[in-house]
Amino acid sequence: MDFEKLKKFIKNNDIPSYRINQIRDAIYKQGITNWDDIKQLPANLRKELAVKQPILSVFMSKIQQSKRDKIIKALLTLKDGYKIETVLIKPYDSWSVCVSTQVGCQIGCTFCQTGHMGFKRDLTAEEISDQVLFWQGYLRSKKIDERISSVVYMGMGEPLLNYDEVVKSIKTLSDTDFLNIGQRHISISTSGIADKIKKLATDLPQVKLALSLHYTDDKLRSKIMPINRKFNLQSLQLALEDYIARTNRQVFIEYILIQGVNDSTKDFRKLVKWIEGIRGNYLLHVNVIPANQTKKLNNKITNAEVDDFVKSLKKANISASARKSLGADINAACGQLATK
């Protein structure tokens, strides 16, 4: 929903201005995403708005629910026909949404299904924040009277390569007049766009930052995550140092453990050395995640191996935890989103 556009429409069509507050409350506080359900509005106005100002810029094409985890994935169609995926998760007692920021992705990480799609286009701020509105409306349609309380920018695309629209969408989501999701409950996960990490520290210092590191050898990381050719491991260390110095916030390091690729003692030592090379590293927390099965990756890492890796990190005085990867049965887990 482009609320500024709606406000202009109301003004230009001599609709009383108090309707703006009624509409804002209905959409953002009550989670109504269908004009016909905003009963305070006269029927003719509801009809006119439905034709001229659709609430959502995304349209649901398919819903899949995980049998194992509290995870629902939606395939959404955009106005130009492109498709994206978004995920609703309830890991503990509150709802979280994982949003996409691009159609496809130009980074091309070899372990990622989105990376194999290629890049089509950036999403607008409206298309990004509408994924959250869509899920709020979905909960309402299921008579679940609960709010979405956090958002993770971890879906399709590299958020920091669509920087301006991502920042704009976060401002909308966190606006107290709109969805009112505190910026401390919003996380951005990046493959490592070092210059934008520094910018983020100034523009959105409250937002949580996660770096998808996965490999601590430049040659290997460049092969699997081609962004490393532009922003190598040393430039990421410097970017994190700068980010920590300016925000004093915890940063999450995501490390997907892949059998025979980055799980050896040598890999472990390199990871410890890389972390120790960052000033302010006491604010880093490593999330160790078992790699998901994708078409290109037949990973057999066990939970026990993940736990051992975490224990070793803790012994080296590095804050770390094992993270469960949810939604793998509906291809909704990390690295599995793709629209085919």
Work out whether 233 is an interface residue with ligand SF4 (CB under 6 A). Answer: no
- With CB under 6 A as the contact rule, which of the stretches 32-40, 78-86, 101-109, 301-309 interacts with ligand SF4? 101-109
Stretch that binds ligand SF4, among 57-65, 107-115, 200-208, 239-247 (CB under 6 A): 107-115
Q: Are 197 and 230 in contact (CB under 8 A)?
A: no
Query: Closest Cα partner for 154 from 307, 289, 308?
Result: 289
User: Among the candidate windows 56-64, 104-112, 121-129, 294-302, which touches ligand SF4 by CB under 6 A?
Assistant: 104-112
Of the pair 31, 108, the CB lying nearest ligand SF4 is at 108
The separation between CA 294 and the C-alpha centre of its own chain, rounded to angstroms, equals 19
Q: Point out the catalytic residue in the list 98, 105, 109, 334.
A: 334
Annotated catalytic residue 334: yes
Phi, psi of 214 (to 5 degrees): 65, -35
Q: Which is nearer to ligand SF4, 31 or 157 (CB)?
A: 157
In contact, 196 and 163? CB cutoff 8 Å: yes
Looking at residue 54, its amino acid is P
Comparison of 10 and 224: residue with beta carbon closer to ligand SF4: 224
Under rule CB under 6 A, residue 166 binds ligand SF4: no
Amino acid at 213: L
Whether 308 and 322 have beta carbons less than 8 Å apart is answered as no
Q: Total number of residues binding ligand SF4 (CB under 6 A)? A: 12
> Does residue 85 carry a catalytic annotation?
yes
User: Can you read off the two tokens belonging to residue 79?
Assistant: 């106005």
Binding string to ligand SF4 for residues 52 to 91, with x set by CB under 6 A, is what?
----------------------------------------
| x-or-dash string of contact with ligand SF4, 109-148, rule CB under 6 A | x--x-xx---------------------------------
From the list 78, 107, 200, 257, which residue makes contact with ligand SF4 (rule: CB under 6 A)? Answer: 107
- Residues 211, 198: Cα–Cα separation, whole Å: 13
State the catalytic residue, choosing from 4, 48, 85, 254.
85
With respect to ligand SF4, which residue has the nearer C-beta, 115 or 327? 115
Residues 340, 325: Cα–Cα separation, whole Å = 21
Residues 211-230 contacting ligand SF4, CB under 6 A: none
> Other C-beta atoms within 10 Å of 188: how many?
24
CA-to-CA distance for 174 and 186, rounded, in angstroms?
9
How do 320-322 and 284-290 pair as beta strands? parallel
Whichever of 31 and 335 has its CB closer to ligand SF4, that residue is: 335
Among 157, 187, 193, 247, contact with ligand SF4 (rule: CB under 6 A): 157
Q: Report H helices in the chain.
A: 3-12, 18-24, 43-52, 125-141, 163-174, 194-203, 218-224, 233-247, 265-276, 303-315
As a whole number of angstroms, the distance between CA 131 and CA 135 comes to 6
Q: Please state, in angstroms and as integers, the Cα–Cα distance from residue 173 to each residue in 5, 142, 293, following that order.
A: 17, 22, 32
CB of 49 or CB of 224, closer to ligand SF4? 224
DSSP 297: B
The token pair at 214 is 């996965």
Q: Which of 126, 158, 254, 263 binds ligand SF4 (CB under 6 A)?
A: 158
Choice between 224 and 301, CB closer to ligand SF4: 224
- Find the binder of ligand SF4 among 131, 191, 247, 331 (CB under 6 A): 191
Per rule CB under 6 A, is residue 281 in the interface with ligand SF4?
Answer: no
Tokens of 193: 């766009």
Residues within the interface to ligand SF4 (CB under 6 A): 105, 107-109, 112, 114-115, 156-158, 191, 335
- Annotated catalytic residues are 85, 334
